[in-house]
Structure 1
Amino acid sequence: MRRLAMVILWPSFLVAAMAEGFFFSLLDPQDLHLGGAEFTLSPLAAYTVGFFLFWLFCALAAMLSYYLANVPADRQPPL
């Protein structure tokens, strides 16, 4: 189980780090608005929350990919 967690979490961690770097190099956390309301988070808190959200989405994508790659094929009933 630990090996499966590392197979999913480590690559998603690396991709989340790259995605956060790219995202926040284009956008300033203080310029982000959600439905017209400004965020009241400090920039460091916004970077932290953003990283964990990117990591969550990347981990979900990795889990789905792992599941779809390892799901047993449908068995055809004998004729």
Structure 2
Amino acid sequence: MDARRWMWIVWPAFLAAAIMEMVVFAFVDPLDMRWLGTSLDGSRNAVYTVAFFVFWAVSVISGMMTVMLGRSASDLNQGAGTEPLAE
């Protein structure tokens, strides 16, 4: 994948993660969150940081799937049939 396609994926994913971060933490206090029945030991900033990168990763995966599913048949089949499959 070329650099332009990566930017098509990463930049909108960054913006989506920032918006998700603002929306989620407008309603949820990180110090009130629990993981497997125990409270989180990290500071608010640590929870904000981890959540942002999780949101960003999910958005990047979504964007990658969109770009991959939007490719044409000729892009997908380019180079196919030039070498026989190993037997």
TM tier relative to shorter chain: 0.7 to 0.9
TM-score by length of 2: 0.79
Gaps of 5+ in 2: 78-87
Q: Among the aligned pairs, what percent are the same residue?
A: 35
Query: 1:70 deviation in Å?
Result: 0.8
Tell me which amino acid in the other structure corresponds to 1:31.
D
Are 1:63 and 2:75 matched, yes or no?
no
CA drift of 1:62 comes to 0.5
State the one-letter code of the partner of 1:23.
V
Q: Which runs of 4+ in 1 moved over 2 A?
A: none
Distance 1:71 1:40, change over 3 A: farther
Go from structure 1 to structure 2 and tell me whether the alpha carbon gap of 1:71 and 1:39 turns closer, same or farther (over 3 Å shift).
farther
Shift of residue 42, structure 1, vs aligned partner: 0.5
> For residues 4 and 37 of structure 1, what CA distance do their matches in structure 2 show?
41
Q: Hey, what's the Cα distance between the residues in 2 that align with 1:28 and 1:5?
A: 33
1 CA distance for matches of 2:67 and 2:73? 12
Q: Is the partner of 2:73 in helix, strand or coil?
A: coil
| TM-score of the superposed pair, with normalisation by structure 1 | 0.87
1:23 matched to 2:17? The reply is no
Using the TM superposition, give the Cα deviation of residue 35 of structure 1 relative to its aligned residue in structure 2, in angstroms.
Answer: 1.4
- Call closer, same or farther: CA 1:70–1:32 in 2, change over 3 Å: same
CA RMSD of aligned residues (A): 1.8
Larger Rg: 2
Q: Distance in 2 between matches of 1:64 and 1:3?
A: 16
Q: Which runs of 5+ in 1 are unaligned?
A: none
